[in-house]
């Protein structure tokens, strides 16, 4: 028969080995959860960056097309159609304040296009028409920039000379 001291040694060894195995199991579960959280966080960051890139591309495409439409020697309906297509995409991803301001800029460019084609307009009157369209583009630029940077645009709108249409909740 085995001495009681031997049983104590065997039992102590078994408890120690079991404790080591349990510690490894707890560490594996904990590190697995941490890795899962880290991966989820990285995926959400990547989605945020992609969304911001899409916004930036749409906003810059709008501004480029709007500037082309106003700076051309004569307004073209093709550029107006392209602006409306871009606005439809912006409408899907931008806050209401931005979409309303972009729509206002497109409407001002369309109105300027109609006024510009009238034969009774002098060069000075045509310059005023273009200036109105440029001011609408500038207000849209402020709204787009504020949306990308997180700047509080409704406070910033008072700093631009352009007329602004701005949607408020509850109206």
Q: Per-block average pLDDT, block size 10, for the chain (171 residues)?
A: 70 78 81 82 83 89 87 67 89 88 89 74 72 87 86 53 39 39
Number of domains in the chain: 1
CA atoms of 133 and 147, how far apart (whole Å): 21
Is 164 among the domain residues?
no
Give me the phi and psi of 162, to 5 degrees please.
-75, 155
- Quick check: 105 and 136 in contact, CB under 8 A? yes
Q: What is the pTM of this model?
A: 0.62
Is 9 among the domain residues?
no
CA atoms of 94 and 157, how far apart (whole Å): 17
Is 36 among the domain residues?
no
CA atoms of 91 and 98, how far apart (whole Å): 8
Is 147 among the domain residues?
yes
Question: How high is the pLDDT of residue 162?
Answer: 39
Domain residues for 89?
51-159
């Amino acid at each position: 028969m085995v001495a009681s001291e031997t049983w104590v040694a065997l039992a102590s060894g078994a408890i120690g080995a079991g404790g080591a195995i349990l510690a490894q199991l707890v560490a594996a579960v904990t590190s697995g959860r941490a890795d899962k959280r880290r991966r989820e966080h990285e995926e959400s960051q990547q989605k945020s960056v992609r969304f911001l890139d899409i916004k930036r591309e749409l906003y810059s495409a709008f501004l480029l097309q709007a500037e082309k439409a106003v700076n051309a020697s004569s307004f073209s309906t093709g550029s107006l159609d392209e602006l409306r297509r871009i606005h439809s995409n912006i409408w899907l991803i931008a806050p209401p304040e931005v979409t309303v301001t972009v729509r206002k800029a497109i409407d001002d460019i369309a109105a300027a296009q109609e006024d510009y084609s009238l034969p009774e307009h002098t060069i000075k009157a045509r310059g005023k028409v273009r200036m109105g369209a440029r001011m609408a583009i500038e207000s849209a630029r402020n709204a787009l920039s504020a949306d990308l940077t997180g700047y509080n645009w409704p406070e910033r709108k008072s700093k631009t000379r352009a007329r602004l249409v701005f949607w408020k909740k509850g109206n």
